[in-house]
Amino acid sequence: MSLLTNKIGLVTGAGSGIGKAVALKYAAEGAKVIVSDIAEKGGQATVEAIKDQGGEAIFIKADTSTAANNELLVKQIIEQYGALHISCNNAGIGGPLAEVGDYPVDGWDKVIAINLSGVFYGMRYQIPAILQSGGGVVINMASILGQVGTKNSAAYVAAKHGVVGLTKTAAIEYAQQNIRVNAVGPGYIETPLVKDALDDASYQALTGLHPIGRLGTPDEVAELVLWLSSDKASFVTGSYYNVDGGYLAQ
């Protein structure tokens, strides 16, 4: 039997990159997948990719930075499938690059709204639905920058640190109610967000920060998310797992 047979799984930010890879893994392991993204074209492409491999998926457009959109998203999932067992809160942005004393306030507000408040809003409405479904798993996408700092990314670093703390709190609260909550901390990953933003010199410098000598792939992150989402990780909750090519070992 596949790892996620008969499970209903939600992935936010699933139109590209890590989110798309997670959605494909979930579907390949038997889950019915709700692909959610603010970008409809990318989200629909992920649904088609899942269907092409014989899986089942639907797309629901949602802006995770608002509580109302998260509430409606979960409501639509329950209307469609009657249950929710797994959620992967992956949607996120990089935000502006500037020192704290010059950081644009509107940029701060946007990054915090999507990368931190969006994870809280997601869990706020997902967890009651998961409880009603008999329990399940929440995976929150943090970052290596949920453990350490870096220059010129105050909002991103603050948000990802917040995601790790939020994950631990929720895990403790629901540990005896059959819900496991964990965070994943990718290093720098080969996604369109990274590749399109960097020139060759910057790309090589970024690669050099990882002892393994390369950037990670979305599939490598998705494999960890899949394990945490399955019963193979049944005694794992409140944890932060980095997948970073040795970045945090330095």
Catalytic residue IDs: 156
Report residue 98 as tokens.
Answer: 């500037």
Q: Which long-range contacts (CB under 8 A, 24 or more apart) does 50-59 make?
A: 50/23, 50/24, 53/24, 53/27, 53/28, 55/24, 55/27, 55/28, 56/27, 56/32, 57/23, 57/27, 57/32, 57/33, 58/33, 58/34, 59/34, 59/35
The one-letter amino acid code at 91 reads A
Going by C-alpha positions, the residue among 84, 90, 92, 172 that lies closest to residue 125 is: 84
Report residue 218 as tokens.
Answer: 């979305």
CA geometry: angle 102, 103, 109, nearest 5 deg: 150
Cβ atoms of 180 and 137 within 8 Å: the answer is yes
Residue 14, C-beta contacts closer than 8 angstroms, at least 6 positions apart: 20, 22, 23, 33, 35, 36, 37, 43, 46, 90
